[in-house]
Structure 1
C-alpha cells in the first residue's frame, strides 16, 4: 500500500535520516522524497511517499511516532488507499456559500462518496450551512477574520481528516500547514482559469482582456506556490459580447464555481487522480 509521511519542525542536522532508515528497515520502497529548508524561519519540511506491505502499516506508524518523539518533528502518516471507511473532509469557508453548499449537497446525494466531518471558517457567514447539514462548525479567527492557522491543522488532526477542501476560503495557508497536509491532501477552488488569471480578481482581469470565456479551476495546493501542474479540473462558460462584468461574476459564482469544485473533489475522492512530485497523475 502507499503511505505518505510528512515531517515539519525546527531545522537541525540529521532529521531525514531516521525517517528514511525506519521505512527502508520495514522493506518499504521509497517512491518520492521532497525536502525543504526554510532558512529564514529555520524550519525543516519533508514529504516521503512509500510503498509498503499493508501488514507493516502499524509498525511504520509506530516508528514515525518514535521519530517525532526523538526529533521534535511534527510527523503525520496517511494513506490515500482508504477502503475501510469513507474519506473524511474538512470544508474551509469564508463568505461565499455557493461552493460549500454544492459540496455538502453532493455528499448528501452520494455524488461525492465522502463524509463532511467538520466545517472551518474565518467568518461566521457560512455557519448556517454546517447547522443545516449537521456538520460540526469551528471558527478559527479573531474579530478581524485573521485565522489561527495552527488551530486549523489541530482541528483537522482531531477529526482524522483525509482532505482539506478550500471552498472559497479567502486566506492563504502558510507553507508549514501545506507541508503538514502535503501529498495531494489540500484541494482548492480558484475562481478563474489557471494559469492565465491567477490573481484575486480573475473575473475583472478576464473582462478587461475582453474575454468571452470564463472559468474556474480546482487544483491541489502545494507548499511552494505553483499553479502549473496541480490542476485537477477546470470548467468554463461562454458569454455573449456586451454582458456586464457583474452578470458574468454572478453566473460564475452561482453556477460554474460550485460545479468545478464538486467535480474536482469527486475526482480526488474516487481515486481518479493523485499528486506525485507536485504533478497531477491519472490513476484510472
Structure 2
C-alpha cells in the first residue's frame, strides 16, 4: 500500500526524526522523501512516500497523530488505496467560469471520472447554483471582494475528507502551506493556456499578442515549489483562422477546450495512469485495482 505523509509547522530541530524513525521501525520502504526549511518564514515542510502493508495503515495514522501533537506539526497521512471498493472523493474548486466545474460534475455523474464530488468550493457566490443543481455541498470561502480564506479551504477539505483537490478555473494562487499539506499529487489544476509558453493570468491575450493561431489549456499537478519542473498531466489545443477576434477565441476555449482538457487529466489521475514522483509526472505500470 502506497502512503503519503506530509508535515507542516514551525521550524525547529529534529522535526523529521520521529516520523522517519517510526516508519522505518515499522519496516516501511521509503520511496520518496523531501524536506524544506523556509528560514524567512520559520516554516518546516516535509513529504514522505512509503510502502506498507494495508493492515499497518490505521496504526500509522494514529501514530502520526500522536507525533503531530508532540511536535506541533500538522501531519497528514493519506493513500489513494485507503478506502478499498469506494470511489475517491473530489473537491472541485472554481471562481467565475462555470463551464469547467460543470464538466467535472457531469463527468463524475456519467462515470467518465470514477470519483465522487464531495464538495464544490469557491471564493465567489456565483457557483452556488451549480452546486445545488448537482446536489453537491457548497462552501464559500471568499469575502465580499473575493479574497479567499485559505484556512477555511483547508478546513473544508478536511471536513469533507477529500482525496483530490481539483482547481477548475479557481482564480486564486494557493499558498505554499496549503500545497504542502496536500502534496504528493493530490492537487490538480487547469491552466487556461499552454505551459510553459504562456503562464500567468492572461494566457489567451498573451498568445493572441504573439500572433498565435493555436491556443490551448494545460492540466497539471500543483506543487509547493514554483518552477520546480514539468508537472503536466494533459494538454489540449485548438486552432483558429487568422483574424479571429480574441473574445471568440476565449469563448471557445472556455466552453470546449478547457473542460475537455481538465476532465481527461483528472481521469488519468483517478485511474492512476499517472503519478507524481519527486515533482515529476510518471506513468504508472498498473492502474487502480481497488
Q: TM-score, normalised by structure 1?
A: 0.98
Q: Which residue of structure 1 aligns with residue 220 of structure 2?
A: 219
Q: Which residue of structure 2 aligns with residue 38 of structure 1?
A: 38
Q: In 1, distance between residues paired with 2:76 and 2:223?
A: 16
- Does the 8 A contact of 1:195 with 1:227 survive in 2? no
> RMSD of the TM alignment (CA)?
0.9
- Does the 8 A contact of 1:195 with 1:228 survive in 2? no
SS at match of 1:64: helix
Alignment of 1:240-255 (within 5 A): 240-255=241-256
1:150-207 CA deviation, whole Å, 9 max, x = no partner? 1101110111100000010000000000000000000000000000001111111111
SS at match of 1:40: helix
Matched, 1:52 2:49: no
Question: Structure 1 residue 227: deviation in Å?
Answer: 6.8
Question: Structure 1 residue 233: deviation in Å?
Answer: 0.2
Q: Which residue of structure 1 aligns with residue 188 of structure 2?
A: 187
Question: Structure 1 residue 253: deviation in Å?
Answer: 0.6
- Does the 8 A contact of 1:8 with 1:45 survive in 2? yes
Structure 2 gaps, min length 5? 286-290
Alignment of 1:1-20 (within 5 A): 1-20=1-20
- Does the 8 A contact of 2:228 with 2:279 survive in 1? no
Q: In 1, distance between residues paired with 2:121 and 2:232?
A: 24
1:89-124 CA deviation, whole Å, 9 max, x = no partner? 001111010000000000000100100010111000
Question: Structure 1 residue 236: deviation in Å?
Answer: 0.3
Question: Structure 1 residue 222: deviation in Å?
Answer: 0.1
Which stretches of structure 1, 4 residues or more, deviate above 3 A after TM superposition? none
Question: Structure 1 residue 84: deviation in Å?
Answer: 2.7
Q: In 2, distance between residues paired with 1:267 and 1:164?
A: 14
Q: Which residue of structure 2 aligns with residue 137 of structure 1?
A: 138
Q: Which residue of structure 2 aligns with residue 169 of structure 1?
A: 170
Q: In 1, distance between residues paired with 2:84 and 2:210?
A: 47
Q: Which residue of structure 1 aligns with residue 89 of structure 2?
A: 88
Q: Which residue of structure 1 aligns with residue 288 of structure 2?
A: none
SS at match of 2:40: coil
- Does the 8 A contact of 2:113 with 2:263 survive in 1? yes
Question: Structure 1 residue 226: deviation in Å?
Answer: 2.4
CA 272–186 in structure 1, closer or farther in 2 if over 3 Å, else same: same
Q: TM-score, normalised by structure 2?
A: 0.96
Question: Structure 1 residue 80: deviation in Å?
Answer: 2.1
Q: In 2, distance between residues paired with 1:226 and 1:125?
A: 32
CA 202–89 in structure 1, closer or farther in 2 if over 3 Å, else same: same
Q: Which residue of structure 2 aligns with residue 264 of structure 1?
A: 265
Q: Which residue of structure 1 aligns with residue 124 of structure 2?
A: 123
- Does the 8 A contact of 1:165 with 1:187 survive in 2? yes
1:1-42 CA deviation, whole Å, 9 max, x = no partner? 100000001111110000000100100011101111111111
Q: In 2, distance between residues paired with 1:216 and 1:61?
A: 37
- Does the 8 A contact of 2:180 with 2:224 survive in 1? yes
1:194-223 CA deviation, whole Å, 9 max, x = no partner? 000011111111111111111000000000
Q: Which residue of structure 2 aligns with residue 79 of structure 1?
A: 79
- Does the 8 A contact of 1:47 with 1:183 survive in 2? yes
Q: In 2, distance between residues paired with 1:214 and 1:26?
A: 50
Q: In 1, distance between residues paired with 2:68 and 2:11?
A: 13
